[in-house]
Structure 1
């Protein structure tokens, strides 16, 4: 079996490649630039947002692919940037898949932020009407909707995995945890104090390697075409706990930390908790990596032993 991973060099894509390799699949990565960790995979250098659908179809058809995973698309500060890197890419991908003489399964990575802010205590299930308010969340929902519309029209065999906030090795630099890890490293380097503004928020977090395992299962699971499947831990964890685990992993002295509460400024509001019952039923999947271990793994991957 062969899988083509779009965005193979990113935080999620690299873990998806590793998970499929561990399951014995032939893995082929696609991204704008190669990366050392893909040395054991086939690779095509391609800007998917700029490539014509025919070019994308050639890459997928020449291999050929049994499963295509869309883990591509960068972060952006404006709606225009997000539209280019996510929605334009997905529209071209849908066109490309429709050109193929065969029908691979498409697994598209969506985001919990597509649901939009909800009251504390809300359990986010797949039938909930999404009401995103930020540019990132709105564009992510548009990409997922484009995939689902094509799948329900019979153009594609596709499933959307709506993933929670992620932790674990190799986080994207723009993420909250990666930014915090960089600040801890800087404080160590300069021997100064660490000032932290910690929001009174609770969010569903999951290790990126657990997400990758869900992607593998979604690639072959029956009866998931045209569906959204939530992928998370099903728990709303205080942000302060994640901060504490990262400080613990770094062995940063607590007496050099100044904490204060701050309002939530993010893409996801102050509460997320996913209902993961559908993933358990249809994918036979459940999260396995604890969040404390996940956060510790993130620090060890970047810095080795605690400082």
Structure 2
């Protein structure tokens, strides 16, 4: 493959959802490894100034509009880092089903076989029993609306890939932590509440007796970069640490890195209310074999970076 002057592969990688925690980190990782990047989101954000940017809502855009954008920038790959924690059926269908369908149609309309890297979710498998290592060939169990729509979007991309219209890999990621983690996540909420704690105050946190797999967002971004040029297509690859960590342990680490007096924080047992049940642990063997990828960032360092980044957060409205 022809290389660009910085030593990376030729062609532009388009990152959808570039203003989010995962998207912005993928943009930065691609840039560091010599790729040309086009950031795409509904609205711009200051942290994307290093990259060309196009405002576009792919979930509602005509496929021809996306195809023209891909051709204009000489795109060879697209990373779909969109999605979110929508609460209504319409929101989840728009983000997780409509958008991948339009993405596949837009890529196919270019007449070129573009690599599409979908950032999927471990919740696409549904809950599993405690102790189960979740492999890529696992049949889905009962799915929440979130897991159902995420899986539908991923399966559509894989079907289009098998039909030869796109060249897709789906990265089913576990829970994400690290810099700029969304405040919609459990750890994001905990960090927000710790920052709001007044001197001398106390804080009670409801924490489920659950064990979950977490991966740093920078490690996930590294997997996305590897997937852009990985061999094979129409595959699902799990991305995680391959460890099921007690949620109480994660909260304890976050309290420690925050500097808040641990005596001021009380953990109260709570019922499991997660989309993934009481246990998640990904089998990450295929990621090592196919992508040459392994997680590198320890969870304590990840939570430290998450805390530090939250302190430097942009003002409201800065993430578009």
1:126-145, CA deviations, whole angstroms, 9 ceiling, x for partnerless residues? 00001242111110010111
Contact 1:217 1:283 in 2 (8 A): yes
1:145-199, CA deviations, whole angstroms, 9 ceiling, x for partnerless residues? 11111111111111000001000000112111111111111113x6421001111
Contact 2:213 2:280 in 1 (8 A): yes
List runs of 5+ in structure 1 lacking aligned partners: none
SS at match of 1:19: helix
- Corresponding residue pairs, total: 302
1:219 aligns with 2:251: no
Partner of 1:76: 86
For 2:240 and 2:83, the matched residues in 1 are separated by 20
CA displacement at 1:241 relative to structure 2:
1.1
* TM-score of the aligned structures, taking structure 1 as reference length: 0.96
For 2:152 and 2:310, the matched residues in 1 are separated by 34
Of the three residues 107, 115, 126, the one matched with 1:97 is 107
CA displacement at 1:73 relative to structure 2:
2.0
1:134 aligns with 2:144: yes
Of the three residues 176, 184, 192, the one matched with 2:201 is 192
Q: CA RMSD in A?
A: 1.1
Of the three residues 292, 302, 306, the one matched with 1:294 is 302
Contact 1:113 1:132 in 2 (8 A): no
Instruction: Map 1:9-48; keep pairs closer than 5 Å.
Output: 9-48=19-58
Of the three residues 103, 122, 129, the one matched with 1:112 is 122
CA displacement at 1:48 relative to structure 2:
1.1
Instruction: Map 1:154-165; keep pairs closer than 5 Å.
Output: 154-165=164-175
Of the three residues 218, 228, 233, the one matched with 2:236 is 228
Instruction: Map 1:263-282; keep pairs closer than 5 Å.
Output: 263-282=271-290
* TM-score of the aligned structures, taking structure 2 as reference length: 0.92
1:237 aligns with 2:245: yes
For 1:216 and 1:249, the matched residues in 2 are separated by 29
Partner of 1:88: 98
Instruction: Map 1:247-262; keep pairs closer than 5 Å.
Output: 247-262=255-270
CA displacement at 1:61 relative to structure 2:
1.3
1:246 aligns with 2:254: yes
